[in-house]
Every structure is written in structure tokens, then in C-alpha cells.
Amino acid sequence: MKIVVVGPGAIGCLFAAFLAKSKEEIWLLDKDKERAAKLNETGISLEGESGSWKIKVRTTSCAGEIGKADLILICVKSFHTKQASEEIKPLLEKDTKIITLQNGMGNIETISETAGEDRVIAGVTNEGATLIDTGKVRHAGRGQTIIGTVNGKTPVQMRSIREIFNKSGLECKMTHDIKSLLWSKLVINAGINALSALTRLPNGKLIEYEGTRRILRDTVAEAVRVAKRKRVKLIFDDPLAKAENVCEGTRDNLSSMLQDVLRKKRTEVEFINGVIVRLGQELGIAVPANKFLLDLVRTIESSYTQAAREKTET
């Protein structure tokens, strides 16, 4: 099977490295030509939960160089999903499947618009990863990766994908209710990511202070109310306890949003807390905690531009 991982971020590099241990043909597609050349030369280095090791992965910035693919993993930020969907067109053939392993909501719909909904498989991964430098990843926590289609069907290729993932050391399962998983992940991310980005705290520290613990609980409770109004059944009985357990289980991990803020990069807050805020407004549900976090993260992002402008003027 020819597998293409799109996006050399923490999760993209993690999955590409593990899959490269299999006997399948693995490629990493990066929109940045210079970075792709560097990755192709140096490979990917991992440290942490899975030990310290390094592996070469064929990397390119040109999809045409790869040829047709059997499976494509989309691991880019949600605001790059549209661009990635266009870039993978040369890789598509009749039976190509696409898995989105992204945060937030809306990615499935965006990919489907370009590639067709029959190709798209949604994925939720609990693997924890922190990007230290180009191609260098700290594997911060082990976890399951669960895949499924929105319509609940099980394409033949899904079983092969699960086997390849498991063979590579990535624990993978299938589900007939991926929507519940996606919403459950959204609820947890809404509580953790923006709050960690604002406080610069690793996940575990968020529940050690009364102030951050209270905000986390309020944010999650609002997201749960929105999910219930949308008639979504979450996969856990006590979402608040689950959010705190996730913080504890990934206590040393820096959330992806905190990693973005530290690098002064655009975050995915619009696709996480922003989704809760927009749906809350549509449904007439008050979501002040999520709105508060959304506004503050937006302010931080705006400050990047302002600081850069002031630096240029001086």
C-alpha cells in the first residue's frame, strides 16, 4: 500500500515515522520545498514514550513526484485543509481513501467538497506528540487511533488500514459512530487547548490551580450543552471528569495550540472554541467561557502581526 502523510507537524511526523517501519511505501508531503528537502535528507527523529530512534521517510513538496496513492493521511492544521485538499488531487485514483487526523470540526466537509465524501475516513488519535524542531518529535503519550466513516459504513480498505497501523505500532480500532468520537474530542479540546495556550501551562498543570480548573470545567460544560442540543451522544458519561483525566494522563504534554502560540503561529481556535461559540449563538445557548477564551487567543494572534509591524517601522 502506498501511503502519503500530508503535513510534517508533530502528528504527521509521528505517524510517518511509525508507518515507515512497515513494509509499505510511505511518503511525506510538505508544501515547503526547502523543509521537504531537509526532511528527505535527515529523516525523522523521535524521543519519549517510544524510545529514541530515527528513520528515513521519502519527503517531497511535489505531489506529482509521488504518483497515485492508496491512502492519504491529512495532518495539517484545519485552516490549511482546503489547500491540502487541492494539493492531493494528483494522488487520487478510483479507490484512494483519505483519513483526516485533525483537530476541530469542518475538515471532513472541506475534504469531501474537493475529493468526494466516499473517499473520506475520519480519525481520532490520542497519541501525544510535541514538535521540537523540523522532523524532531517528542512522543509525549501513547493512545489509540480510531477510524470510521460518517455514514457508519466500513469500506474494505479500512480493515487493511487498521492492520497496517497496528503492525506499525500505532494501536488502531474501527467504529461505526465516529461522529460521537469527533464531538467528544472537540469537547475535551475546547477545555484544554486554548486555556493552556493562554496560561503557557502543560496540560497537567491546568488542574493543579483552582482558577484554571474552574475555567476548564465551565468551558467543557458549555460544550457539552451544545453537543446535547445537537443530539450528539458523547462517548463518556462524565465529560468533566474525562477532561481532567486527560490533563493528568498527558500532564507533561504541551497542547498543539500552546505549541503554536510559543512559535507565534496561527492556532486552530476557530475550529475548536470558535465552533462552540458559533453553534451556541445559533442555538441560543450562552457560552461565555468559550467566548472569553476565543477572544483572548484571537488577541494573541493579532499581537503577532502588530509586533511584526512595529518592529518593521522601527
Average model confidence (pLDDT) across the chain = 94
Model confidence at 23: pLDDT above 90: no
Q: Which three cell numbers stand for residue 62?
A: 511535489
158: closest CA among 142, 146, 168? 146
Identify the residue with better confidence: 229 or 304.
229
Q: Write the pLDDT tens digit of every residue in 131-180.
A: 999 999 999 888 899 999 988 888 889 999 999 999 999 999 999 999 99
Q: What is the CATH number of domain 179-313?
A: 1.10.1040.10
Q: Quick one: pLDDT at residue 252? A: 84
Model confidence at 313: pLDDT above 60: no
Q: Quick one: pLDDT at residue 161? A: 96
Q: Write the pLDDT tens digit of every residue in 76-135.
A: 999 999 999 999 999 999 999 999 999 999 999 999 999 999 999 999 998 988 899 999
Model confidence at 259: pLDDT above 60: yes
51: left (phi over 0), alpha (psi -120 to 50) or beta: left
pTM of the entire predicted model: 0.90
Model confidence at 16: pLDDT above 80: yes
Map out the domains of the chain as residue ranges.
Answer: 2-175, 179-313
Residue whose grid cell is 523521535: 46
Model confidence at 309: pLDDT above 80: no
Separation of alpha carbons 192 and 79, rounded Å: 20
- Could you list the active site residues? 185
Model confidence at 314: pLDDT above 60: no
97: closest CA among 162, 32, 51, 166? 162
Domain at 2-175, CATH class: alpha beta
pLDDT more than 90, % of the chain: 87
Q: Quick one: pLDDT at residue 311? A: 62
Separation of alpha carbons 309 and 314, rounded Å: 9
Q: Quick one: pLDDT at residue 312? A: 53
Q: Quick one: pLDDT at residue 111? A: 97
Q: Quick one: pLDDT at residue 253? A: 83
Q: Please say whether the beta carbons of 20 and 26 come within 8 A.
A: yes
